Structure 1
């Protein structure tokens, strides 16, 4: 499973993840489609903690490390905040994936529970 929206500042121990400060800003014309996709897809792993915005805007992000998925990609719940409020971009590969699917959100029952298991494994591998 591919991942994005996980940054080294989310963790208290050193990690090979990119810094949130190194992510380019997005000027994409389909931002509303992207935001709908990030928010609308199912939550695979739900956490109930809260954390301050890593970029210092003062927002308290509830459930920020919950993991969302479309079955191919996983991202943190707070990714929506960083894209919508701070203009962070999404990876080009994710853009292509979403555009190919016309940003249609996954609906209905998951036929394959292993997708959620894999999303949980991705989340845990970053701890």
Structure 2
């Protein structure tokens, strides 16, 4: 998978060269769009499982998700992305939003995504 098809990897959770969730523009999506996209992000299959829970970096009393990576077979994102889309109404990349709209918000089942064929990119 091309690393340009990864999003939602945040410096606050992953460290390194990733963008900060604190600098992401907020309220980009309408409340309805945010709910639909966050449901898609939450319900797609897990590609790389990671144990433990991650606290929200904007509201530390809440759980944002895990460090697991989810995928729809074309795009991949950290599990916390659904929380931030729902809570802050930040937008995934526009190319992903177009992909989401083409699929009419239908997320794939685990049997529809062959995660063994996906290659994890080198982020170095």
**Bin of the TM-score, shorter chain as denominator length:** 0.7 to 0.9
In 1, Cα distance between the equivalents of 2:113 and 2:84? 31
2:51 alignment counterpart: 48
In 1, Cα distance between the equivalents of 2:73 and 2:34? 21
Deviations 1:33-77 (A, max 9, x none): 212210111011111122221123421345x11010000100111
1:75 alignment counterpart: 77
In 1, Cα distance between the equivalents of 2:70 and 2:14? 18
- 5+ long unaligned stretches in structure 2: none
SS in structure 2 at match of 1:9: helix
In 1, Cα distance between the equivalents of 2:76 and 2:22? 20
In 2, Cα distance between the equivalents of 1:60 and 1:32? 17
The 4+ residue runs of structure 1 with deviation greater than 6 A are none
- 5+ long unaligned stretches in structure 1: none
TM score, norm. by length of structure 2: 0.81
In 1, Cα distance between the equivalents of 2:75 and 2:29? 22
In 2, Cα distance between the equivalents of 1:111 and 1:35? 19
Deviations 1:85-125 (A, max 9, x none): 2222211111111011111111251463212xx2xx24xx4
In 1, Cα distance between the equivalents of 2:117 and 2:12? 29
By how many angstroms is 1:16 displaced? 2.4
1:101 alignment counterpart: 103
Deviates more, 1:38-47 or 1:102-111: 102-111
